[in-house]
Chains A and B, each alone.
Chain A
């Protein structure tokens, strides 16, 4: 099956895949900075180099860490929590 073969191929070349993805990310940020017309931007900071890249990354980190912190305040319980009388 072609999907499985493709996935297995990518998994066996993980290092190259990571390098490829990292270069793509870099290219995206640089391309955005050099080539894209930003007159449509809603606010001034959006015109800075890599603004949305940083925004995405920090959002992701904030969501992970704040949610985990919130969960460990006592929100996360064992699965049988509601079974106890």
Chain B
């Protein structure tokens, strides 16, 4: 193994930090929670373009650190978001949640700086297997189920990606380097790699895991989740699939798909999750356009999106944290109780809606303008329709039905409602200021983009065009407010197929098992019970007088043991699933080894 030069991988810092988190308590831990991501951020900032961390492994050189303008802009925003997310989660006592979050961010940074597919896959799987704990740690029935579904879908995606990589390895005679693929003549390996990427980008029909999982995650976990998986996939698409035409279609469909489901949604965090799909649609469409301006737009929009979506999840997360509720039909009228949270969420809403002076305005429009410039008129206009939908839901529906509208709060909800702890407020303040800063001072973001920027968002035409679309959407919102009243429903999505399909499999499997079970039960009832009844009658008197106390104690002990066992069992399954990833990596290594030996 040789390191080409001294370069500290920011993932390494986060992983080392993650090891330390459980060892510290109180103030020391709080300092660590802020210092580690800040250190990672400065490591990214101080990195110079080049190739670092090249490790000789068997037949090839694995590249852990490809630093160029594209990886830098993503590395910058990911570590920045890690600081903000850790600040927001500072009050969380369970160290596992911090460990999971940082491992997840480390995975994302690993993908971003990976120079070849093998390293990419390693970190890709690390993301899936660490992020799922951010869902499980919510510790309710819904999140356990959602976590398993999330993991199964991502394992399937990982297998698609792995198959693509293996086919590509074979076809190219051993080339594993990760760069722009031949998108004009895609072969099977290219399609499989694309499928792996777009599953993580939540492109329909491979998207249902996102709203399912993100709405079930912990309050602080969802801040991390909403930033890293989809935007890391967007990075990978930028790197490998710029100019692939099908992405233009998929991206535009995505942008509208999320908007349609957002109309129907009653849960604020699920609504925001659908709007991730919609916003990532702009980015996927931008990758499909593939021009320098479009790729700049994709990076800018990913950057802005991570901040404003984080802010929106922080705002609705604060409501959930304080009241325990996230459904519109259980909230309303909270502006008196949580005015600052309202203001921050509104800033997030205005940013995602691309209001002038807010971050979305300077990023989203770059993609739309690139579309018009490449004469993809229908793409441009449909993305404009999606913009109207974005303001309708995230800018209007979310703030209105939580902080205004009919007060659906129960007495308990109303009493619990208050501004969140200081660290959550601080994280929201900084994020909100960044959203406004990016919108007002464009060079901050534009000088970071991969290509030189000639685009100027603040022209009179663009400002009045945007204001007209948004404000008249607002007029429509208030005119048809009755139509938008939230209803206590859920909406079926693509996850219906595996949720209901899985049930049929379970029912089929249960048949024989249940037959055997009832046979054993019957046998026990006939042979065992008869004897037991006789002896029970005999011992009843003694039992009543002496044993009761003992038995009660024993029962309690058994119950607590059973509960411990149950937890251990769940944990066992989770450990098994984690080991699956090890098997995937092992299989890959075996394949490679076999290949080396055959030669």
Minimum C-beta distance from B379 to chain A (A): 11
Interface residues of A, dominant DSSP: helix
B490 lies within 8 A of A76 (CB): yes
Closest-by-CB residue of B relative to A57 is: B472
B335 lies within 8 A of A77 (CB): no
Closest-by-CB residue of B relative to A70 is: B260
Please tell me which one of the listed residues A3, A40, A57 contacts residue B343 in the complex, with CB atoms under 8 A apart.
A3
Interface-facing stretch out of B72-80, B380-388, B521-529, B550-558: B380-388
Q: Which residues of A contact B499 (CB under 8 A)?
A: 82
B492 lies within 8 A of A57 (CB): no
Q: With A32-B464, A55-B469, A59-B473 given, is the CB distance from A64 to B263 under 8 Å?
A: yes
Within 8 Å of chain B (Cβ to Cβ): is A41? yes
Within 8 Å of chain A (Cβ to Cβ): is B476? yes
A25 lies within 8 A of B339 (CB): no
Closest-by-CB residue of A relative to B492 is: A75
* B contacts with A, residue count (CB < 8 A): 46
Q: Which residues of B contact A24 (CB under 8 A)?
A: 471
Within 8 Å of chain A (Cβ to Cβ): is B340? yes
A31 lies within 8 A of B263 (CB): no
Interface residues of B, dominant DSSP: helix
Interface-facing stretch out of B32-40, B62-70, B477-485, B512-520: B477-485
Q: Which of A1-50 contact B (CB under 8 A)?
A: 1, 3-4, 7, 21, 24-25, 28-29, 31-32, 35-38, 40-43, 46, 50
* Separation of A29 and B471 alpha carbons in the complex (Å): 11
Within 8 Å of chain A (Cβ to Cβ): is B172? no
Within 8 Å of chain A (Cβ to Cβ): is B568? no
Q: With A3-B339, A36-B461, A63-B392 given, is the CB distance from A78 to B473 under 8 Å?
A: no
B491 lies within 8 A of A42 (CB): no
* Separation of A56 and B469 alpha carbons in the complex (Å): 4
* Separation of A59 and B382 alpha carbons in the complex (Å): 9
* Separation of A43 and B465 alpha carbons in the complex (Å): 13
* Separation of A79 and B469 alpha carbons in the complex (Å): 34
Within 8 Å of chain A (Cβ to Cβ): is B93? no
Within 8 Å of chain A (Cβ to Cβ): is B7? no
Please tell me which one of the listed residues A56, A65, A67, A77 contacts residue B468 in the complex, with CB atoms under 8 A apart.
A56
* Separation of A43 and B373 alpha carbons in the complex (Å): 11
A28 lies within 8 A of B487 (CB): no
Q: Which residues of A contact B491 (CB under 8 A)?
A: 71, 75-77
Total number of residue pairs linking A and B with CB closer than 8 Å: 141
Q: With A66-B260, A67-B263 given, is the CB distance from A41 to B384 under 8 Å?
A: no
Closest-by-CB residue of A relative to B264 is: A71
Map CB proximity to A onto B456-475 as digits: 1 under 8 Å, 0 otherwise. 00011110110111111101
Q: Which residues of A contact B460 (CB under 8 A)?
A: 35-37
Within 8 Å of chain A (Cβ to Cβ): is B377? yes
* Separation of A28 and B475 alpha carbons in the complex (Å): 13
Within 8 Å of chain A (Cβ to Cβ): is B488? yes
Minimum C-beta distance from B212 to chain A (A): 10
Minimum C-beta distance from A17 to chain B (A): 11
Within 8 Å of chain A (Cβ to Cβ): is B336? yes
B388 lies within 8 A of A56 (CB): yes
Q: Which residues of A contact B503 (CB under 8 A)?
A: 85
Q: Which residues of A contact B384 (CB under 8 A)?
A: 55, 59
Q: Which residues of A contact B388 (CB under 8 A)?
A: 55-56, 59-60, 63
Q: Which residues of B contact A57 (CB under 8 A)?
A: 472-473, 475-476
A37 lies within 8 A of B461 (CB): yes
Q: Which residues of B contact A74 (CB under 8 A)?
A: 492
* Separation of A71 and B259 alpha carbons in the complex (Å): 12
B471 lies within 8 A of A28 (CB): yes
Q: Which residues of B contact A54 (CB under 8 A)?
A: 472
* Separation of A50 and B343 alpha carbons in the complex (Å): 31
Closest-by-CB residue of A relative to B465 is: A52
B464 lies within 8 A of A36 (CB): yes
A–B pairs, 24, beta carbons within 8 Å: A3-B342, A7-B339, A28-B468, A40-B461, A50-B468, A53-B472, A54-B472, A55-B472, A56-B468, A56-B473, A57-B473, A60-B388, A63-B260, A63-B385, A63-B389, A63-B392, A64-B263, A64-B484, A67-B260, A76-B490, A78-B489, A78-B490, A81-B490, A82-B490
Closest 9 CB pairs of A and B: A60-B476, A67-B263, A56-B469, A59-B388, A56-B472, A52-B468, A42-B372, A32-B464, A3-B339
Which B residues lie at the A interface, using CB under 8 A? 259-261, 263-264, 335-336, 339-340, 342-343, 372, 377, 380, 384-385, 388-389, 392, 459-462, 464-465, 467-473, 475-477, 480, 483-484, 487-492, 499, 503
Besides A37-B460, A40-B461, A56-B469, 19 new A-B residue pairs in contact (Cβ under 8 A), listed by A number? A3-B342, A29-B468, A35-B460, A36-B461, A52-B464, A56-B468, A59-B469, A59-B473, A60-B477, A63-B385, A65-B483, A67-B261, A68-B263, A68-B483, A71-B263, A76-B489, A79-B489, A81-B492, A82-B490
